[in-house]
Amino acid sequence: MGFFEMTKTALKTVLSRPVTILYPYQPAKKTSLTRGHVVQDGSKCISCSICVKKCPSQAILLNKEAKTWQIDRFRCVVCNSCVDTCPTRCLSMDTQYTAPASVQGVEVFTITYVKPPKPEKKEETKE
């Protein structure tokens, strides 16, 4: 009985169309929920570092001195955590996939606002 079931499954698989596609030669199927790649709008970023702390794969690097926000595409697991937690909504998930292997691993965005450092606490003097 098991042999006939297996033969039936094998024949059905051989005769049906493949469920996979030859990406990137064939365009990938996309919906509005497709996670392609993270995009950043530097004009809205307030350099709060929340995305850096929330990223599970340490793919984001914020450099306040250089006013840059960068993402390592090879580290990013496209979990959407940074997009969900960014307070200014300057991060978004584009449905377009980045081209495999032909794109540079690290993409750098310029930010316009840099959060000033916290003022140092004055030491209390004993009288």
Gap between the Cα atoms of 41 and 124, Å rounded: 42
Q: Indicate the residue among 2 and 100 with the shorter CB distance to ligand SF4.
A: 100
Q: Please report whether residue 96 would count as binding ligand SF4 according to CB under 6 A.
A: no
Paired with 40 in beta bridges are: 91
Among 79, 98, 108, 114, binds ligand SF4 (CB under 6 A): 79
Q: State the Cα angle at 81 between 78 and 83, rounded to 5°.
A: 90
Gap between the Cα atoms of 16 and 127, Å rounded: 88
Q: Please report whether residue 112 would count as binding ligand SF4 according to CB under 6 A.
A: no
Which residues would be at the binding site for ligand SF4 (CB under 6 A)? 38, 40, 45-51, 54-57, 59-60, 62, 69, 71, 76-82, 86, 88, 90-91
